[in-house]
Homo-oligomer: A and B are copies of this chain.
């Protein structure tokens, strides 16, 4: 029994953090709000991260969710804009496990985004080479040139959402199990990003309340502030091992993966919500200003907490899994 990441996995997280510290500081996230700017993408591609989940023969590293978990956490930590989760954690594995080699060869070269049932919008659809769409339990491919892509404004402007409609779609697969796994991968990826976002908000808040003085002392020396931050920290510390356990379950295709994924997404969503609320309250007015960066993380956290199943959605799935028949 060893519940920890390998040295290689930790090293990849370190590399990711280095790239994102350099290429995706808050100014870059802000730039993505106003421009159609995708920070760090080429550096992440060059580092082999963007396509890491593709099989080696298609230019990837055959990475699984355990390899991805810390990378996605780092993406959340930096509030990285763009389709890393959709492309790397969901679309590539979905194509790789449902399509023949010729199709893989064709699709895995370009940016993939994906719309699973239940999610009304697609992120970065306007940039994608191929848009994957789940419809009635089938997986279809859409060429963006055949599609009407209508941009939608998210409260987090760095998320470039759109609705996608197209008459011309190509059936890729009817493997419902693979699609079910794709849902779980999307929820897992969001959970990993959420714990990263939550940690970043707590860290940033700790820095601020250590410096900010009121009543002649650091705001962070007040017990009320300490306890709020401690509670948020505990929530994140409990969510993280659940996210890691979900990664393990997905990587090993365990039959209980849905249970572990729902646990992870529910706790990570709630932890990120709590961290956002705590961060704002402990900052006071400054955190409420648009010029201060906190809201870049907060709004991402709100969006991802609601995406791919809210905490309540995942608890409902758990109720069915745990309580079965008895759950009316």
CB distance from A191 to the nearest CB of B (A): 28
A224 to B227 Cα, complex, angstroms: 8
Q: Answer yes or no: A223 CB below 8 A from chain B CBs.
A: yes
> Taking beta carbons and an 8 Å cutoff, which residues of A are in contact with B?
222-224, 227
CB distance from A218 to the nearest CB of B (A): 14
Closest chain B residue to A228 by CB distance? B227
Q: Which residue of the partner chain B has the closest CB to A224?
A: B223
Q: Report B-chain residues with C-beta under 8 Å of the C-beta of A224.
A: 223-224, 227
Which residues of B sit under 8 angstroms from A223, Cβ to Cβ?
222-224
A277 to chain B, nearest CB (A): 16
Minimum CB–CB distance from A312 to chain B (whole Å) comes to: 15
Q: How far, in Å, is A221 (CB) from chain B's closest CB? A: 10
A284 vs chain B, min Cβ distance (A): 16
Q: In the docked arrangement, what's the CA distance between A224 and B224, Å? A: 6
5 contacts between A and B (CB under 8 A): A222-B223, A223-B223, A223-B224, A224-B224, A224-B227
User: Sorted from nearest, which 5 A-B pairs have the closest CB atoms?
Assistant: A223-B223, A223-B224, A224-B227, A222-B223, A224-B224
Complex-state Cα separation, A223 to B227, whole angstroms: 10
Residues on the B chain within 8 Å of A227, using CB: 224
Determine the distance from Cα of A222 to Cα of B224 in the docked complex, in whole angstroms: 9
Give bound CA distance, A224 to B230, whole Å.
Answer: 12
Nearest-CB residue, chain B, relative to A223:
B223
Complex: how many Å from CA A223 to CA B221? Answer: 11
